[in-house]
Amino acid sequence: MFVLGAVVDGGIAVSWFLIASGWKIPNILNGYIGSGPDYQLAMYGGAMFMAGWAVLLAWGALKPIERRELLLITSGFLLLSVVIEFVFFSNMLGGAVFVFGVTKRLTLSVLFASAYLYSLKMKGS
């Protein structure tokens, strides 16, 4: 799961860096297409944090049982991101790309939480 998370987050970071560089592509998580220097700056900041989280998950892959709590933290924030988008940004977002992004995040959240719970069983065996 750590490797999957690192690859997904790394891909998101790259796409956000492209948006920050001026590419007019949809946000891979929710389909939103923004414009302007404020949006680009926000995407740059987000890309830096996403790249950092990708590295953190890659680090977790080196000792997955000992660092399994990272999966639980990641799962929680994925779920929180979906809730926040529905509560605060539902009037701006929609369509198939948004639904795909929500489905992807919820699926990853369940996978990461399941891997965490499974690791508890493995450690106890």
Residues 24-43 have pLDDT tens digits of 999 988 888 999 999 999 99
Q: Is the pLDDT of residue 8 over 90?
A: yes
Confidence of residue 95 (pLDDT cuts 50, 70, 90): confident
Print burial letters for 46-81: b (CB count within 10 Å at least 16), e (below 16).
bbeebbebbebbbebeeebeebbebbeebbeebbeb
CA-CA distance, 35 to 117, in Å (whole number)?
Answer: 41
Joined together, the tokens standing for residue 53 give 């989280």
Three-state DSSP class for residue 74: helix
The residue that leads in pLDDT, 123 or 88, is 88
Position 115 pLDDT exceeds 90: yes
The DSSP 8-state label assigned to residue 33 in this structure reads -
* pTM reported for the whole predicted model: 0.84
123 compared with 2, residue with greater pLDDT:
2
Q: Which residue has the higher pLDDT, 90 or 19?
A: 19
- Is residue 125 pLDDT above 70, yes or no? no
Region 74-79 average pLDDT: 95
